[in-house]
Amino acid sequence: MEIPGNDFRIKNKAIQNRVKSGDKSSSASLKGDVSSSSGSEQVAISSKAKEIQQVTNAVNATPDIRIEKVEKIKDQLANGNYHISSDKLAEKVLQSIITESEFLG
């Protein structure tokens, strides 16, 4: 099935066959995939959209601060074992300046 103007296609052959035959009972059994307002209109959510939603939920559930990494660096600082490469630091600073100037300019 293809909706003109949108790049929406149903790739599953079983679902395509149900849509073509107008079998409302079997298409209504697609849990979470079909919504009907008056019994004649159907909307199917693609598996890609479901994957995007799952990834988005996983990202949103991930904390912004990685506690274990922060604790590791704190321990290294306390023991005097934390060393920063001056070359890498300079590279990151320059990269940040270049990115910022491209954004502002």
Pairing of strands 43-44, 34-35: antiparallel
> Do residue 74 and residue 89 come from a single domain?
yes
pLDDT of residue 104: 79
> Do residue 40 and residue 68 come from a single domain?
no
Identify the domain containing residue 76 by its residue range.
Answer: 63-104
pLDDT band at 78 (very low <50, low <70, confident <90, very high): very high
Indicate whether 3 belongs to any domain: no
pLDDT band at 80 (very low <50, low <70, confident <90, very high): very high
Own/partner long-range contacts of 33-37 (Cβ < 8 Å, ≥24 apart):
none
8 vs 29: CA distance, rounded Å? 21
Indicate whether 28 belongs to any domain: yes
Query: DSSP states of 22-70 as a string?
Result: T-HHHHHTSTTTEE-SSSS--EE--HHHHHHHHHHHHHHHS-SS-HHHH
Indicate whether 78 belongs to any domain: yes
> Do residue 17 and residue 54 come from a single domain?
yes
Indicate whether 46 belongs to any domain: yes
Indicate whether 74 belongs to any domain: yes
The 10s digit of each residue's pLDDT in 10-55 is 555 555 555 555 544 443 444 444 455 556 788 888 889 989 999 9
> Do residue 97 and residue 86 come from a single domain?
yes
> Do residue 34 and residue 70 come from a single domain?
no
Q: How far apart are the first and last CA of the chain?
A: 46
